[in-house]
Structure 1
Amino acid sequence: MPIYFFWGEDEYRLTKAIAALQEKVVDPIWADFNEDIISGEETEAVAEGLYQALTPPFGGGGRLVRVEKTTLGQRCSDALFSELERTLPKLPDTSHLLFTSEKKPDGRLKSTKLLKQYAKFQEFALIPPWKTEQLLEQAATAAAEKGVSLTNAAQEQLVAAVGNDTRLLYQELEKLSLYSAGKEGALDESAIAQLVTANAHNSLQLAKAIRDANTNHGLQLLADLLNRNEPALKIVAVLVGQFRTWFLVKLMLEKGETDKQAIAQSADINNPKRVYFLRQDVQAVSLQQLLNAFPILLNLEADLKRGEDAVNTLQTKIVQLCRIFQRNSQ
């Protein structure tokens, strides 16, 4: 009775996992008879899924029943729970029952606890855009899968262009794979600039604009982010994370530390090779300037949480932050 619960907002990776399961379970010749896709938004979706999963497959291969966008991880009636309790142990080994949801199942629900006794749970969460280290690791893994060799600078530029959009990451790597065919050596940032379109501005670019005291560019980046419905608090989280990393790197350099491993450990950087680029990022700014940014960022977060107008508040604070990093303030 193979049962699965796939959840998360990374639609691309989730879709790939479903396709892999489908290829493993369903004989293509008998797919029309042995694959059922049920909308989880329907009232009787779970009950119908259980009923279909009890049905033996027709012909070769197994049966795959998919209950998509299920709400089972958020609510479950007593009647449905009783049905789950009765049916799950009886599902045949030839039937595979898959629940999918964007939302994380509520571990407090008795239905979730019951499912965990029988089902394999797999998370497909998007990496938050402010977790640069994880995004770089994801890009490196994906590049290896596609057989694309990238320099560290090229990886950073690729992540800056695609953000946490996994589908876009693989699309761009497919393009880079075709470009690099027959070429020796790793692709550098010039290849990324030539081939990869920065489809959307991200909050890391906004952090760099502030560091460079480029007020006009920073305000334009902010407008682009808000036009794409980027949550204001998420923008702030990215800024805080980036300035914290810069501050810790600069602090270690000011102390005279030269060992990349030690700097990386102090600044919570998983890949010590990134220290080289971070040193360049903070070369033209002072430790005091970076330190002065934090009260403004904390006030910005507090104002937003109090319900202040997001656009006006963000614009005002970005102007204040840019003033800190003007050359004549050093």
Structure 2
Amino acid sequence: MPIYLYWGEDDFTLTQAVNQLRESFLDPNWANFNYDKIPPDQPDAVIQGLNQAMTPPFGMGKRLVWLVNTTVCQQCSENLLAELERTLPLIPEESILLLTTHNRPDGRLKSTKLLQKYSVIQEFSLIPPWKTEELVQRVQSCAKDIGVRLTPDAATLLAESVGNDTRQLFNELAKLQLYVGDSAQPLEAKTVASLVTANTQNSLQLATALLHGDGAKALGLVADLINKNEPALKIVATLIGQFRTWLWVRLMISEGERDQKAIATAAEVGNPKRIYFLTKEVQPLSLAQLTSTLRVLLELEFELKRGGEPLATLQTKVIQLCQVCQN
């Protein structure tokens, strides 16, 4: 099928997939003639892309037309929809039309339904940073592809360190691959800890410090994260995810639920065995306290998105969160 729709916020893996399409379909000697990358700010970008896709390739290989960050799956005029309906079924096999977007396609739109009929759709979404089991599985899969052997503890530590930052994961694995060389021995956690930058791990440590009301440690971790250029909104996303999990566990326990599988399903925890430890973690806090923490975190996110200075805004809300958990 000559039409592809890639969507999601994981720019790194999405770009890798685009490069793979280029290598698969374009003849390197004719790539300059047969490759069109059309940004969204160009007038009539979609129409231009459709016209280019209908143009036969020059020389050897195929033609690749890439509509970058297109909004056709979020909004589509009647005129553009009519052009899509007319052109998509007729795109020749010698041409590849690629559409990419950060946002999830709106399944209610006729344009999205049309692309679902005629295209290969692939999702490149980021794994939420609090879904640790999925992050560990992703680390193990990528490490296997690259040829880096890790002990289970090392894989867990690497997942905690890079979180859902796919680009950093591949950079760290490349570093570990150079360190390992031709050795067949799997890397231990202590070796990974000495070589890998642990920003997301510090964000999870920050969440734990807040839960315990440890203001001094929490403020130190905030300063460390900002000094390492960790985006403030990324820190907040990790905190919201972690506190949301704690809140769900506390809510289910308060309602008398004792089935770990049921609690894990409600809290979106992949491994039900983690519920035992999560229960111990939230035991000192009431349901009202955990509800209040999420309210403060959402206020923090709102203030940052309005342009609040990251360090000062985080410090103020961290103190507030510690007070909530202490009381």
Q: Give the TM-score of the pair, scaled to structure 1.
A: 0.80
Q: Secondary structure at the match of 1:186?
A: coil
Q: 1:295 aligns with which of 269, 272, 288?
A: 288
Give the distance between the partners of 2:245 and 2:16, measured in 1 at CA.
31
Name 1:88's counterpart in structure 2.
88
Name 2:319's counterpart in structure 1.
315
Name 2:174's counterpart in structure 1.
174
In structure 2, list runs of 5 or more residues that go unmatched. Answer: 305-312
Q: Percent identity?
A: 40
Aligned residues: 306
Q: Secondary structure at the match of 1:28?
A: coil
Name 2:221's counterpart in structure 1.
221
CA shift, 1:228, in A, is 2.2
Amino acid at match of 2:231: R
Contact 2:154 2:187 in 1 (8 A): yes
Name 1:139's counterpart in structure 2.
139
Mean CA deviation greater in 148-157 or 197-206: 197-206
Contact 1:236 1:297 in 2 (8 A): no
What do residues 231-273 of structure 1 show as CA deviations (whole Å, max 9, x unaligned)? 686344323255369879x9xxxx9xxxxxx97896465468x
| Root mean square deviation of aligned Cα | 3.3
Q: 1:239 aligns with which of 242, 245, 249?
A: 242
Name 2:54's counterpart in structure 1.
54
CA shift, 1:166, in A, is 0.1
Give the distance between the partners of 2:295 and 2:190, measured in 1 at CA.
40
Alignment of 1:115-134 (within 5 A): 115-134=115-134
Alignment of 1:1-330 (within 5 A): 2-199=2-199, 202-210=202-210, 214-222=214-222, 224=225, 228-230=231-233, 234-241=237-244, 243=246, 267=264, 270=270, 288-289=283-284, 291-292=285-286, 294-303=287-296, 311=313, 312-321=316-325, 323=326
| CA pair 320-306 structure 1, distance change in 2 beyond 3 A | closer
| CA pair 219-84 structure 1, distance change in 2 beyond 3 A | same
Contact 2:199 2:230 in 1 (8 A): no
Contact 1:300 1:317 in 2 (8 A): yes
Contact 1:6 1:100 in 2 (8 A): yes
Q: Secondary structure at the match of 1:105?
A: coil
CA shift, 1:88, in A, is 1.0
Give the distance between the partners of 2:178 and 2:212, measured in 1 at CA.
35
Q: Secondary structure at the match of 1:240?
A: helix
Give the distance between the partners of 1:135 and 1:215, measured in 2 at CA.
28
CA shift, 1:209, in A, is 2.6
CA shift, 1:208, in A, is 3.0
Name 1:328's counterpart in structure 2.
none
Amino acid at match of 1:14: L
CA shift, 1:210, in A, is 3.8
CA shift, 1:17, in A, is 0.5
Give the distance between the partners of 1:30 and 1:169, measured in 2 at CA.
34
Give the distance between the partners of 1:157 and 1:87, measured in 2 at CA.
49
CA shift, 1:153, in A, is 1.7
| CA pair 313-246 structure 1, distance change in 2 beyond 3 A | same
| CA pair 309-176 structure 1, distance change in 2 beyond 3 A | closer
Q: Secondary structure at the match of 1:37?
A: strand
CA shift, 1:181, in A, is 2.6
CA shift, 1:72, in A, is 0.9
| CA pair 45-202 structure 1, distance change in 2 beyond 3 A | farther
Amino acid at match of 2:321: K
What do residues 275-303 of structure 1 show as CA deviations (whole Å, max 9, x unaligned)? 6xx86x98xx67732x53x4322112235
Amino acid at match of 1:20: Q
Amino acid at match of 1:316: Q
| CA pair 244-152 structure 1, distance change in 2 beyond 3 A | farther
CA shift, 1:202, in A, is 4.7
Q: Secondary structure at the match of 1:86?
A: helix
CA shift, 1:53, in A, is 0.5
